[in-house]
Amino acid sequence: MRKSILLIGLLALPYLMLAQTPDLNDALLAKARNLYDAPFTRSLVSFDCAIQFDWKNHFQQAIGSVPPAAVPMIDKLQTIPHRVFVDRSGATVSAIPKAPDLSAIPHSAALEQALGSIVQGGINAWIPFATNVILPIKPTKFSFERSDTGYTVAMNGNGVDVTLLLGSDLRLTGGDSRVPQRMRFTTRFTDGPEGYLLDSETIMPMDGEGGKSQFDYKFQTLQGFQLPFEVTVTPANSEVWHFSLTDCKVMTGITIKVEAPATVH
């Protein structure tokens, strides 16, 4: 029995050391960072794109048909061009040159604003992955621990209390955030030419109250960067919104090294 206990202890020692040795933690973090496609940590500064959104198709998917009374409103909304400007701080949506006066058409202004919020939310959900701040950034304290499916990463720091779940290939599969926001999330990644690309993310309240939101992405190659092309946003009310980004203009500059504490959106 004593030999069996000793053998088990020796077998477990590498896993215990993995969770306690700073050098191994740093090595795993560096390896993980290099596996993800994070264009804002390379030379991407910003990009600006036209937003393509089909209001008629949206109504058909949402309620099954387009009410005749809604046709004038849909026709008016479809004529409003929108663009989105994106840098590492987030997305900003604007009507070009500016939104027309929609006060004479019931619900039009609210729907036009809703589209802006959906596009902004869909892009902002991708930003933490595009900037690689989803993984720990010093001075946030972190530790990797072995699990049955890969690794558990605990992060604690100024305004951060998050546990990440990674597969054996260091692909993020989800996590729990207690600070700055209480929520659970799951993620799925696909292999891209520059590393793991976010394919889908689902966010839900940690307390179980309220619905979940889902974000799905397809990418386009622009000046060597993989940037969002088709985005699907499914809010808690389950009304699905599809939009795409075209006519994009990309600005590049020097490579930026992230030094700020990690955050989770």
pLDDT digits (tens, 9 = 90+) for 239-251: 999 999 999 999 9
**What range defines the domain where residue 26 resides?**
22-252
Establish if 85 belongs to a structural domain.
yes
DSSP assignment of 120-173, as one string?
A: HHHHHHHHHHHTT-SS--TTSEEEEEE-SSEEEEEEEETTEEEEEEEETT--EE
Is residue 21's pLDDT more than 80? no
Establish if 257 belongs to a structural domain.
no
Establish if 265 belongs to a structural domain.
no
pLDDT band at 19 (very low <50, low <70, confident <90, very high): very low
Is residue 6's pLDDT more than 70? no
Establish if 169 belongs to a structural domain.
yes
pLDDT band at 157 (very low <50, low <70, confident <90, very high): confident
Average pLDDT over residues 152-167: 94
Establish if 6 belongs to a structural domain.
no
Q: Residue 64: phi, psi to the nearest 5?
A: 95, -15
More confident call, 104 vs 121: 121
Establish if 4 belongs to a structural domain.
no
Lowest-confidence range among 13-27, 34-48, 73-87, 144-158? 13-27
pLDDT digits (tens, 9 = 90+) for 135-155: 998 889 999 999 999 999 999
pLDDT band at 224 (very low <50, low <70, confident <90, very high): very high
8-state DSSP, 220: E
**pLDDT for residue 255:** 55
Establish if 164 belongs to a structural domain.
yes
**pLDDT for residue 9:** 30
**pLDDT for residue 264:** 39
To the nearest whole percent, how much of the chain has pLDDT over 70? 86
Highest average pLDDT, of 67-76, 152-161, 223-232, 249-258, comes from 223-232
**pLDDT for residue 23:** 86
Number of domains in the chain: 1
Establish if 14 belongs to a structural domain.
no
Q: Residue 239: phi, psi to the nearest 5?
A: -80, 115
**pLDDT for residue 216:** 98
